[in-house]
Structure 1
Amino acid sequence: MDPFLSKTFLRLHATFWFDLRSVFIGNLARILFLEKAIDSQNYLSKKLENP
Structure 2
Amino acid sequence: MGKSFAVIGDPIDHSLSPNIHSAAFRELNLDASYIAYRIPKGELEGGIEGLKK
Shared fold, TM over 0.5: no
TM-score of the pair, normalised by structure 2: 0.32
Q: Larger radius of gyration, structure 1 or 2?
A: 1
TM-score of the pair, normalised by structure 1: 0.33
Q: Relative contact order: is structure 1 or structure 2 higher (C-alpha 8 Å, sep ≥ 6)?
A: 2
Structure ranking higher in strand proportion: 2
